[in-house]
Amino acid sequence: MYSSASSSRRPSSVRRETLIEFKLVDAENGQNSSPATTHRRFGPSSGWKKYAVGGSLVLFILFLLSKNSPGFILGDHTPPPPPHHVHPQHTFDLPNQDVADPLIDVTKDESIKFTGPINEAEAALPASHDYIHADQSFPSFSEDASSNSDLPTSFEDDPNPAGTTGCQSPHPDATAKGRPLVQYVVMIDAGSTGSRVHAYKFNNCYSTPQLEYETFKATKPGHGLSSFADDPLGAAKSLDPLLKEAVRVIPKELHAQTPVAVKATAGLRILDSKIGPNASKEILDAVRNRLTTRYPFNVSDRPGDVAVMDGSDEGVYAWITINYLLERIGSDVDNTKVPTVAVMDLGGASTQIVFEPMSRHTDATPLADGDHKYTLTYGGKQHVLYQHSYLGYGLMQARRSVHNLIAYLYEFGNVLVPSWDEWNEDIKVPNPCMPHGTSKHVTLDPPHKSPVNVTMVGSSNGWDACNRVIELVMAKDAVCEVQPCSFNGVYQPSLMETFDGPLLAMSYFYDRLSPLGINDKTSSFARGEIQKLASHACKGEANWKKYWRGNQEALDVLYDKPEMCLDLTFMNGLLGLGYELGPQRPIGTGKKIDGVELGWTLGASIAVLDASSL
Which residues carry out catalysis? 314
Let me know if 37 is exposed, middle or buried by CB neighbors in 10 A (0-12, 13-18, 19+): exposed
Q: CA 502, 506, 509, 510 torsion: positive or negative?
A: positive
Q: What is d(CA 340, CA 462) in angstroms, rounded to the nearest whole number? A: 38
Query: What is the CB neighbour count within 10 angstroms for residue 440?
Result: 15
Edge to edge, the sheet with strand 503-507 lists: 32-33, 19-25, 373-378, 381-391, 350-355, 342-346, 503-507, 588-590
Q: What is d(CA 245, CA 239) in angstroms, rounded to the nearest whole number? A: 10
Residue 498: C-alpha distances to residues 37, 55, 367 (Å): 25, 35, 10
Q: What is d(CA 244, CA 223) in angstroms, rounded to the nearest whole number? A: 17
Task: Please check if 46 is assigned to a binding site.
Answer: no
Q: Among the residues of 66-202, which ranges form H helices?
A: 172-176
Which of 422, 293, 326, 318 is closest to 376 using CA atoms? 318
Report yes or no: 202 and 210 within 8 Å, Cβ to Cβ: yes
Task: Please check if 348 is assigned to a binding site.
Answer: yes
Q: In this structure, what DSSP letter does residue 309 have?
A: P
In 191-320, beta strands by DSSP E: 195-203, 210-218, 260-264, 306-308
Task: Please check if 478 is assigned to a binding site.
Answer: no
Which of 85, 37, 47, 34 is closest to 409 using CA atoms? 85
Task: Please check if 349 is assigned to a binding site.
Answer: yes
Q: What is the DSSP string of 163-207?
A: S-SS-SS--HHHHHTT--SEEEEEEEEE-SS-EEEEEEEEE-SSS
Report yes or no: 8 and 211 within 8 Å, Cβ to Cβ: yes
Q: What is d(CA 341, CA 320) in angstroms, rounded to the nearest whole number? A: 10
Query: What is the CB neighbour count within 10 angstroms for residue 79?
Result: 10
Q: In this structure, what DSSP letter does residue 249 have?
A: H
Task: Please check if 121 is assigned to a binding site.
Answer: no
Report yes or no: 205 and 170 within 8 Å, Cβ to Cβ: yes
Residue 531: C-alpha distances to residues 19, 127, 339, 517, 586 (Å): 39, 15, 27, 14, 14
Phi, psi of 51 (to 5 degrees): -70, -40
Vertex 323, ends 320 and 328: CA angle to 5°? 135
Q: Which residues are annotated as a binding site for ATP?
A: 348-352
Q: Which residues are annotated as a binding site?
A: 348-352
